[in-house]
Amino acid sequence: MPEPRYVVDTATGVLTPARQCPSPNCDPRPPDADIELLVLHGISLPPGEYGGSAIEDLFCNRLDAGAHPYFESICELEVSAHLLIDRSGRVTQFVPFTERAWHAGASRFRRQTVVNNFSIGIELEGTDTSPYSDAQYTALGAVASAVIEAYPGITARRVAAHSDVAPGRKTDPGPAFDWQRLYDELGHRKRA
Which sequence positions are flagged as catalytic?
123
Q: Are 115 and 101 in contact (CB under 8 A)?
A: no
Please name the amino acid found at residue 118: F
The 3-class secondary structure across 45-102, one letter per residue, is CCCCCCCCCHHHHHHCCCCCHHHCHHHHHCCCCCCCCCEEECCCCCEEECCCCCEEEC
CA 123 to chain centre: 3
Q: Which of 45, 10, 42, 2 is nearest to 138 (CA)?
A: 2
Name every residue whose Cβ is closer than 8 Å to that of residue 187 and which is 6 or more positions away in sequence. none
